[in-house]
Structure 1
Amino acid sequence: MNAVPRRLSSLLAISLATLLAGSGMASAQTPARTPATAGGWTATWTASPQRPGTNFTPNWSEQGFTNQTIRQVVRISAGGARARIRLSNAYGTAPLKVSGATVARTASGAAVQPASLRQLTVKRARAFTIPAGAELATDPVTLGLSDLDSVTVTLYLAAPTGPATYHAQAMATSYRAAGDHRADSGAGAFDQTSLSWYYLSGVDVIGRASRQGAVVAFGDSLTDGYGSSPGADNRYPDELAERLAAMGRPRAVLNQGIGGNRVTVDSAWLGDRATSRFRRDALGQPGVRSVIILEGINDIGMSEAPSPIGAPPTEVSADEIIAGHRALIRQAHARGVRAIGATLPPMKGSRYHTARSEAKRDAVNTWIRTSGAYDAVVDLDRALASPQDEDLLDPAYDSGDHLHLNDAGYRAAAHAVNPTDLG
Structure 2
Amino acid sequence: MRGRPLPRRSLLAGGASLGFLGAAPAFAAADPAAPAAGARHWVGGWAAALTPPARRGRSVHGFARRTLRLVVHLSVGGDRIRLRLSNLYGTRPLDLGAVTVARRRKGAATEPGTGRRVTFAGRRSATVPVGAEVVSDPVHLTVHADGDLVVSIHLPTATGPTTWHGGAKQTSYLSTRGDHTADESGSAFHRRLLSWFFLEGVDVATTDADRTVVAFGDSLTEGGAIPDNVNLRWPDVLARRLARAGRRGPGLSVVNAGIGGNRLLSDVGTGADGRIHLGVNAQARFARDVLQQTAVSDAIVLIGTNDLGAGAGVHRGARLTSGQVIAGLAALANRAHAAGIALHAGTIIPNALLHPARERMRAHVNHWIRSGGAFDSVVDFDAALRDPEAPRQLRPRYDSGDGVHPNTAGMHAMAQTVDLSVLGRAGTYLLPVTGSGASGGRRAPAPQPGQHSPG
Aligned to 2:343: 339
- 1:401, 1:204 → 2: CA distance? 35
Is 2:106 the partner of 1:108?
Answer: yes
- 2:78, 2:261 → 1: CA distance? 33
Query: Which letter maps to 2:200?
Result: S
**Residues 206 and 304 (structure 1 numbering): CA distance in 2 closer, same or farther, change over 3 Å?**
closer
- 2:418, 2:397 → 1: CA distance? 19
Q: Secondary structure at the match of 1:116?
A: coil
Whether the 8 Å CA contact 1:33–1:289 is kept in 2: the answer is no
Deviations 1:171-198 (A, max 9, x none): 0111001221110001211110111100
**Residues 314 and 158 (structure 1 numbering): CA distance in 2 closer, same or farther, change over 3 Å?**
farther
Query: Which letter maps to 1:337?
Result: I
Matches within 5 A, 1:245-264: 245-249=243-247, 250-264=251-265
Query: Which letter maps to 1:336?
Result: G
Higher helix share: 1
Aligned to 1:26: none
- 2:112, 2:360 → 1: CA distance? 56
- 2:404, 2:60 → 1: CA distance? 29
Aligned to 2:388: 387
Matches within 5 A, 1:78-157: 78-157=76-155
Deviations 1:271-304 (A, max 9, x none): 1111111011001101000000101000001436
Match of 2:299 among 266, 285, 291: 291
Q: Secondary structure at the match of 1:415?
A: helix
Gaps of 5+ in 2: 9-13, 16-40, 270-276, 425-455
- 1:392, 1:101 → 2: CA distance? 47
Matches within 5 A, 1:181-220: 181-211=180-210, 213-220=211-218
Aligned to 2:409: 408
Aligned to 2:418: 417
Indicate the RMSD between aligned Cα atoms, in angstroms: 2.1
Q: CA deviation at 1:387?
A: 2.6
Query: Which letter maps to 1:343?
Result: T
- 1:316, 1:106 → 2: CA distance? 46
**Residues 93 and 246 (structure 1 numbering): CA distance in 2 closer, same or farther, change over 3 Å?**
same
Query: Which letter maps to 2:348?
Result: L
Aligned to 1:321: 325
Match of 1:225 among 223, 226, 229: 223
Whether the 8 Å CA contact 2:76–2:209 is kept in 1: the answer is no
Q: CA deviation at 1:317?
A: 1.4
Is 2:282 the partner of 1:281?
Answer: no
- 1:65, 1:135 → 2: CA distance? 18
Moved over 6 A (4+): 36-39
Q: CA deviation at 1:313?
A: 7.2
Query: Which letter maps to 1:88?
Result: S
**Residues 33 and 376 (structure 1 numbering): CA distance in 2 closer, same or farther, change over 3 Å?**
farther
Q: Secondary structure at the match of 2:359?
A: helix
Q: Secondary structure at the match of 1:264?
A: coil
Q: CA deviation at 1:248?
A: 4.2
Whether the 8 Å CA contact 1:347–1:393 is kept in 2: the answer is yes
Count, aligned residues: 381
Q: CA deviation at 1:267?
A: 2.6
Match of 1:272 among 264, 267, 280: 280
- 2:241, 2:143 → 1: CA distance? 18
- 2:61, 2:317 → 1: CA distance? 29
Query: Which letter maps to 2:293?
Result: Q
Whether the 8 Å CA contact 1:69–1:180 is kept in 2: the answer is yes
Whether the 8 Å CA contact 2:310–2:355 is kept in 1: the answer is no
- 2:199, 2:242 → 1: CA distance? 25
Q: Secondary structure at the match of 1:251?
A: strand
Query: Which letter maps to 2:158?
Result: P
- 2:52, 2:268 → 1: CA distance? 9
- 2:64, 2:206 → 1: CA distance? 36
**Residues 144 and 414 (structure 1 numbering): CA distance in 2 closer, same or farther, change over 3 Å?**
same
**Residues 313 and 153 (structure 1 numbering): CA distance in 2 closer, same or farther, change over 3 Å?**
farther
Whether the 8 Å CA contact 2:4–2:339 is kept in 1: the answer is no
Query: Which letter maps to 1:76?
Result: L
Q: CA deviation at 1:41?
A: 2.1
Q: CA deviation at 1:210?
A: 4.9
Deviations 1:361-385 (A, max 9, x none): 0011000000011110000000001
Query: Which letter maps to 1:153?
Result: V
Q: Secondary structure at the match of 1:390?
A: strand
Deviations 1:76-105 (A, max 9, x none): 101122100111111011110010010000
Whether the 8 Å CA contact 1:343–1:365 is kept in 2: the answer is yes
Whether the 8 Å CA contact 1:77–1:251 is kept in 2: the answer is no
Q: Secondary structure at the match of 1:247?
A: helix
Q: CA deviation at 1:314?
A: 5.6
Whether the 8 Å CA contact 2:217–2:301 is kept in 1: the answer is yes
